[in-house]
Structure 1
Amino acid sequence: MPEVLPWPEVRLGDVCKVVRGSSPRPAGDPRYFGGDFIPWLTVAAITNVSPSQIVITETVGFLTEEGSRHSRHFQPGMVVIANSGWKCGVAKVLGFECCGNDGIAALESLTAADPLFLTYWINSQTERLRSQAAAGNEQPNLNTDRIAGLSLPLPVIAEQQAIAAALSDADGVVAGLERVIAKKRLIKQGAMQDLLTARRRLPGFSGDWEVKKLGELVTIIMGQSPSSTAYNSAGDGLPLIQGNADIKDRKAITRVFTRQVTKMGRAGDYLMTVRAPVGEIATTDMDVCLGRGVCALRTDQRIVYHIMVSKEPEWAKLSKGSTFDSVNGAEIRAFEVFFPADTAERNAVAQVLDDMDAEIQTLEARLAKARAVKEGMMQNLLTGRVRLV
């Protein structure tokens, strides 16, 4: 069996030329911007797409022909990197000709280097690049010299392409699951709009729906913040839920405990934020202390949870406050919802929506696993720890 040699270390600037985009000045000048001559690539076009999408296929803005003369042209297949802002260090491959602004770097004239391999490698270094860019700067910035000076282990081109193909396959799995989840969420949204307004009825149900005040349907426990002297991380007392920072994926999470329990939420309650952002709904599977930024909705009617999730956008109309938005107990009790009179219909509607949530959660678990698999592949394949030879 032939000996597998380690990869040589090279400077990124030795296998390409690192250039920076150029923005016409002044920004927004109609002589340069808002035309239809050539696409205008911004940092957002690179950083606001899924990490599983390596090739950029579109951007929003365009330049005029005159604007293109005051910018730098990028060609399809080039590696582009966000080199400024708090999301710097993200790399993509261009799928179209465009002009790029000065917050973007690009790799030109690649020699003995595969664009996809370099893109994956740069993305494996994003956090390190951001920490370097942020050192001593209010606005993180990766200049072209810093990018060109990056040292990377570089296998022969055939092995680079094999690695890039393997990681592209992993991205395909991730992207496929992301698309399915997005579709399922849209279906769930449509089902909520239909089933929670009686626009569509489940088979076998034809009873009345009524307008009810929320205070008629649930017991509302407004939060009250304990003294900060009672806070601890040793698990002494109850978890303190103060706002959306203590909520993840619609579930209460434990960050801080308090020995002073001012107002208590019970396992099984629904929690609602009452300070900006107002109206976000979560569940809790544990007893908690309710801080002033939340309230508990206590009921045995599961449909209330789904109704309140569907009503989240409406709370902005009720929120108030000069410093931050908030709602009080009276406003919450007076909040009106459409409610089925038939208990069996309530349970049936809630079950349909619960089943949809369960399906989405199963897909999200598969997505998390697929992302973890890809992360492990990057750590192994881009370092030569595992070889595809």
Structure 2
Amino acid sequence: MSEQGWARKKIGQLLVRHFAGAWGEDPGYVGAANVVVLRSTNLDDSGGLTLSTGAPRRFTPKELTSKRLVDSDILLEASGGGPGKPVGRVALFQGDGSSEYACSNFFRALRVDGSLVNPKFLATKLQWLYRQSSIWRYQQQTTGIINLRFGDYLDQEIELPPLDQQRRIAEILDVADEQIQSIDHLVSKLRLICIGIVSDALNEIEQTAESTALLSEVADISSGVTLGSEPAGDGSIEVPYLRVANVQDGYIDTSEVKAIRIFRSQMERFRLEAGDVLLTEGGDFDKLGRGAVWDARIPECICQNHIFRVRCDRQVLLPEYLAAYASSPRGRAYFLSIAKQTTNLATINSTQLKSMPLPLPSLERQQKLIDAVEACSGRIQAELKVADRLRLLKQGLIDDLLTGRVRVPL
């Protein structure tokens, strides 16, 4: 027992079973059960697990018996990491009743002994260890892929409070999760309301718009710098640039901005200006034409070639109106209709973007739509800030409860 009266146990001693995930057969495979396979993309760094974007596969009854996930299984990411991205993320599985679930072969599923440990507590503890970087010593790299030395991982000793305290800690964390989820659901509803506002306004605009124009007639469209060999010497400069990951749906994420060297003479061509609308060239279907208005928060910034820079003629077209139209169901439908598509990927080129038909109401009507969108977006951003604060508070709470700095009342 530790000084706090907590027991020390190896992780492996707390399990009744563990098993590697499996990918299953192609969705068209006949004679097997439909299963949703959870992948690394379903897992986030905070321990969240998204079920809705799992991959549909088919498993034989025998496979499903051995690989089926049940509620309170713990998913441990054991393979597939890359440079600077260790494996070891953890999430607690709770099914939604709509499907059978399994996990990909990048995971290990841990089934706990409920007489020794509370599953929620253990999942939180293991995710806390990941966040503390204490499992880096169990990483090994083979051919560019990082794997977890699973046996050594299971031999780790962790401190556990008595089971009744574990349950109480899990209950406290559940309350925090419910508050965060409540805000997330509200944000989802607000986004739907915002889409509805834009759709209704565009319906009216298309029926009564004074004119329609091709985008190339009311805006200048270009691409950013091509990544690859970078110049050196006195004629070159290093500048920040935006990648596809920075251009999100409705906002620009500058939490991580990289730099690139270009010729000084290229700066005038590629420099971004406040009011430029940035749209992504493609990738996954959700990235096609995704974009937002740049606010010049970073001076002397450029973008990469997989992002289109659209500079509007503001005498007839407001940037925010174009961004709202591009992200609307109408704009997305246009992009999908003209995109070159492969399995799960789609791209558009500048010629297709230039040919996008755009209803052009008066600037006053454009501004009215912009004001409605900004009012809804402002409420969304306010709720997201509350959720971020709650997540920070939860992390502090986890640190206190899992180390015993704060004891829970029973």
1-structure distance, mates of 2:101, 2:224: 53
- Partner residue, 1:296: 310
Greater mean deviation of Cα atoms: 53-62 or 74-83: 53-62
3-state SS of 1:125 partner: helix
What TM-score results when the alignment is normalised by the length of structure 2? 0.71
1-structure distance, mates of 2:223, 2:25: 52
- Partner residue, 1:214: 215
- Residues 105 and 144, structure 1, Cα contact 8 Å, conserved in 2: no
1:327 aligns with 2:319: no
Q: 1:163 aligned to 159, 169, 183, which one? A: 169
Q: Which amino acid aligns with 1:334?
A: S
Greater mean deviation of Cα atoms: 128-137 or 110-119: 128-137
- Partner residue, 1:228: 230
1:309 aligns with 2:327: yes
- 1:182 deviates by 1.2
1-structure distance, mates of 2:115, 2:180: 30
Cα distance change on mapping 1:183 and 1:17 into 2, 3 Å: same
Q: Which amino acid aligns with 1:279?
A: G
Q: 2:292 aligned to 259, 282, 296, which one? A: 282
1:28-177 aligned at under 5 Å gives the runs 30-31=30-31, 33-34=32-33, 40=35, 42-44=37-39, 47=42, 71=66, 76-86=71-81, 89-94=89-94, 103-126=107-130, 128=133, 129=135, 132-136=138-142, 141-142=147-148, 145-177=151-183
Q: Which amino acid aligns with 1:107?
A: R
Greater mean deviation of Cα atoms: 12-21 or 135-144: 135-144
- Residues 42 and 49, structure 2, Cα contact 8 Å, conserved in 1: no
- 1:133 deviates by 4.6
- Residues 74 and 123, structure 2, Cα contact 8 Å, conserved in 1: yes
- Residues 52 and 174, structure 1, Cα contact 8 Å, conserved in 2: no
- Partner residue, 1:271: 278
- Residues 56 and 92, structure 1, Cα contact 8 Å, conserved in 2: no
Cα distance change on mapping 1:121 and 1:74 into 2, 3 Å: same
- Unaligned runs of 5+ residues in structure 2 are 82-86
Cα distance change on mapping 1:209 and 1:356 into 2, 3 Å: farther
- 1:348 deviates by 0.9
- 1:79 deviates by 4.1
1-structure distance, mates of 2:244, 2:64: 44
Cα distance change on mapping 1:131 and 1:348 into 2, 3 Å: farther
- Unaligned runs of 5+ residues in structure 1 are 201-205
Q: Which amino acid aligns with 1:9?
A: R
- Partner residue, 1:255: 258
Greater mean deviation of Cα atoms: 173-182 or 128-137: 128-137
Cα distance change on mapping 1:140 and 1:292 into 2, 3 Å: closer
Cα distance change on mapping 1:255 and 1:62 into 2, 3 Å: closer
1-structure distance, mates of 2:200, 2:220: 27
- Partner residue, 2:191: 185
3-state SS of 1:178 partner: helix
What TM-score results when the alignment is normalised by the length of structure 1? 0.75
2-structure distance, mates of 1:99, 1:90: 16
Q: Which amino acid aligns with 2:176?
A: A
Question: Superposition RMSD on alpha carbons, in Å?
Answer: 4.4
